[in-house]
Amino acid sequence: MELGRRLHWEALRGGLARAKELLVLGDGVAWIWKLKADRWPEARELLDFWHGAQHLWALGRAHQRMDESKAKPWVEKRLHQLRHGQEAKVLNDLSTLKVSRSQFGKAVKKEMNYFAGQAHRMNYEEIADRDWPIGSGPVESTCRQDQRRFKGPGQFWTGRGMRCLSAVDEARCNNHWDALWLCA
């Protein structure tokens, strides 16, 4: 709830009220889509391309029984199709895979279910053609930088202390000095 409130506040500060269209880009976990439904129900949804690719690689390796020489061309062909507007073809191909009862078959079935649940979030070509991002890498990189800054060896923070340090750092990076009083 708190994350949703803060994200919404930042979105408003960044011009949400003037936006003609909204896009929520996520890595496929359910809480992101629930947050989107709660805060921005009219927004479009897009599965982060890199996370989708990771699942496609897991599926390809299981489908090819861990034979990397067969998995690589199988996956790369489908990644190219996904990126270039042929998501329906890829999803159709995935839905027709034969699933055995083996350990590989269970992994294939798990990934098939993942893609079935994410199917409406995979229109990468259309989104990229609008010059919108198809990956969450810059945001994840920023999060990693913040974690390194505040989670160094021997550093321990109370919840309140961490919130205040994050607020000071965010204010420094984004020139939000007037918002610092929200920390206390």
- The three-point CA angle 182-3-116 to 5° equals 165
Mean of pLDDT over the chain: 88
CA distance 56 to 82: 10
Model confidence at 166: pLDDT above 80: no
Model confidence at 180: pLDDT above 70: no
Model confidence at 116: pLDDT above 90: yes
Helix (H, G, I), strand (E, B) or coil at 131: coil
Q: Which two tokens stand for residue 90?
A: 């890829």
Instruction: List, for residues 70-102, the tens digit of each pLDDT value.
Output: 999 999 999 999 999 999 999 999 999 989 999
Which element (helix H / strand E) includes 128? helix 124-129
Mean pLDDT for 23-46 is 93
